Amino acid sequence: MKTIILTGGTSKRFGSDKSEALINDKTLLEYLTEGLSNLVIVGPETDLEAVYVREEPAGAGPVAAIDAGLRAVDTDLVSIFATDMPFAPRVLPQLINSLINDAALPMDCEGYAQPLAGVYRTEKLRSALESLGNLENKSVKELISKLEIDRVPLVETEFLLDIDTKEDLAKAIDLASRLAQ
């Protein structure tokens, strides 16, 4: 299985590049990818060992970024994670074990499926992308509506913490400290 990491986005609410924010002396990107292999990173190159790609045109949104990343995937399954969800890979084994249909997506504490922290059947995802036509600024919600989703309830929904603000980063630092104990 390959893993697509989405590092793009404008980080407007955060105020700076989120992927460079630190949790215990590691950037969000470093924290997220720790323990993962076969990485395809959609975004600027870093020191991490990975295949690097960019969406066309730059800034075309997460669906275009998923498509760009998927072009570098040659495995039956692919996991997709957004950089601002640094704990999400902790649910990867549960998602893989729950995959029956086209995709397994974790449910957050409000009951919503989180498509930027999921496992997908590569060919089903490719077909869904093709069915959307022009991918520029398409919504991820529209993309996953084309798939049969296995919604996976989690005991630890805090692993889906999405860092959009400095306050969210403080929560992430606290969670990382608790997990390290």
pLDDT computed for residue 155 by the predictor: 84
pLDDT computed for residue 104 by the predictor: 99
Q: For the chain, 181 residues long, give each residue's pLDDT as a single digit of tens.
A: 999 999 976 566 666 667 778 898 999 999 999 999 999 999 999 999 999 999 988 889 999 999 999 999 999 999 999 999 999 999 999 999 999 999 999 999 888 999 999 999 999 999 999 999 999 989 999 999 999 999 999 988 999 999 988 899 999 999 999 998 8
The residue written with tokens 């069915």 in the block is: 131
CA distance 171 to 36: 23
Helix (H, G, I), strand (E, B) or coil at 109: coil
pTM: 0.94
pLDDT computed for residue 10 by the predictor: 55
Q: Are strands 26-27 and 77-82 parallel, antiparallel or unpaired?
A: unpaired
- Structural domains of the chain sorted by starting position, each given as residue range(s) with its CATH number in brackets: 2-180 (3.90.550.10)
pLDDT computed for residue 135 by the predictor: 94
Q: Residue 163's closest CA among 20, 3, 59?
A: 20
pLDDT computed for residue 67 by the predictor: 98
pLDDT computed for residue 59 by the predictor: 85
Q: What is the pLDDT of residues 134-153, one digit of tens each?
A: 999 899 999 999 999 999 99
Contact 120, 92 (CB under 8 A): no
